[in-house]
Amino acid sequence: MSIEVLRPGMLSTVQDLGRTGYAALGVGRSGALDTDALRLGNALLGNAATAAGLEITLHGPTLRFNTRGAFALCGADFIARLDGQTVSGWSAMAAEAGSVLELGHARSGCRAWLALAGGIDSPTVLGSRSTDLNAGLGPLPQALRRGDVLTLGAQASTPRAPSTRWSLDPRPWFALTGHAPLRLLPGRDYAHLDQSSVTALCNVEFRVAAASNRVGVRLNGATLRLTHALECVSEGCVPGVVQLPPSGQPIVLLGEHPVSGGYPRIAQIAAVDLPRLAQASPGSALRFVLIDLDTATRALLARQRARADLESRIHSRLAAT
């Protein structure tokens, strides 16, 4: 079972939940920038949560199913057609052998995740199938190219066959609506920001620069300054760290960030808002609001538990169909 890449799209990569446990060797996690969206797509298909799918960016690929299959597209609202028929997101769809799935551009947002029944089944590299573009890691160590053939695993048979009769309500998972500010925790070096930068951080609108990618979102807006230069030695990073390089234009790290970095760290995006940040396309506007760690932790736990609960309800419902 396989799919073939007829057109690769702007930047389509194989991603799963990421490469955990190798940070000490300088190997980052990579992985889907919104693991909830990928997991829910996998759940709709009866896949394991760890199944690999495709992360698509701004303009998606065109794919041919070489065998009968099923897929679910979760994340941003992309124009999508299966053999000319409109595809709706957040639901499982069946595809016949020879069917062509054409993913167009994002109507809003930036990224979506295409889960495929059986998952992309290439051998793992250091425990994951995720592509790490900078490190050149993964069974497919670069973005999709025309002619690539992706092998799919055995599809879950009943009682977990995907149902095409219902769909998820994406709204709790995918609030693109409006312009709610991204929640921000003060970082280690927040206290070293000068007064006008402290004011600017949560009052100025920042724009996502074109040079942003899976490594990080580069922001243009106010130029932020520290009261004095800081000598930082390189140390471990996580997604969401807001670094301040000497240019004064902050960079927010995303899932493909290097494992260590040496710039001052002024803030940290609350993890619960990282999926929203992954939808910020170049030119879009972002605002920030400060919260504390306890509030961020509660929000994250609530989201994780709601997602786990939804996954188990989907599994039960598939088992009952």
| Interface ranges with other proteins (CB under 8 A) | 20-27, 125-126, 134-137, 185, 188, 231-238, 240-241, 258-260, 268, 270-271, 293-294, 296-298, 300-301, 304-305
The helix (run of H) or strand (run of E) holding residue 69 is strand 69-75
To other proteins, the closest distance from the beta carbon of 132 in angstroms equals 8
Of 25 and 229, which CB lies nearer to other proteins in the complex structure?
25
To other proteins, the closest distance from the beta carbon of 258 in angstroms equals 6
How many residues in total does the chain contain? 321
Q: Are 70 and 92 in contact (CB under 8 A)?
A: yes
User: Of 87, 82, 244, 275, which Cα lies nearest the Cα of 172?
Assistant: 275
**Quick count: other Cβ atoms within 10 Å of Cβ 99?**
20
Cα(68)–Cα(81) distance, integer angstroms: 16
Of 298 and 317, which CB lies nearer to other proteins in the complex structure?
298
Q: Which residue has the tokens 């051998």?
A: 123
Rg (CA), the chain: 20
Of 159 and 245, which CB lies nearer to other proteins in the complex structure?
245
**Alpha-helix residue ranges (DSSP H) falling in 156-262:** 195-201
Of 11 and 269, which CB lies nearer to other proteins in the complex structure?
269
Q: Are 293 and 185 in contact (CB under 8 A)?
A: yes
Cα(125)–Cα(19) distance, integer angstroms: 8
Tokens (6 digits) for 163: 């149902």
To other proteins, the closest distance from the beta carbon of 21 in angstroms equals 6
User: Three-state SS for 90?
Assistant: coil
Cα(6)–Cα(102) distance, integer angstroms: 9
**Cis peptide bond prior to 8, omega within 30° of 0:** no
Give, in degrees to the nearest 5, the angle at Cα 8 between 215 and 94. Answer: 105
To other proteins, the closest distance from the beta carbon of 31 in angstroms equals 12
User: Of 160, 170, 285, 153, which Cα lies nearest the Cα of 219?
Assistant: 285
To other proteins, the closest distance from the beta carbon of 55 in angstroms equals 20
To other proteins, the closest distance from the beta carbon of 63 in angstroms equals 26
Of 103 and 254, which CB lies nearer to other proteins in the complex structure?
254
Q: Bridge-partner residues for 253, per DSSP?
A: 216
Of 43 and 270, which CB lies nearer to other proteins in the complex structure?
270
To other proteins, the closest distance from the beta carbon of 33 in angstroms equals 15
Of 20 and 88, which CB lies nearer to other proteins in the complex structure?
20
To other proteins, the closest distance from the beta carbon of 60 in angstroms equals 28
Q: Bridge-partner residues for 206, per DSSP?
A: 286
Of 123 and 178, which CB lies nearer to other proteins in the complex structure?
123
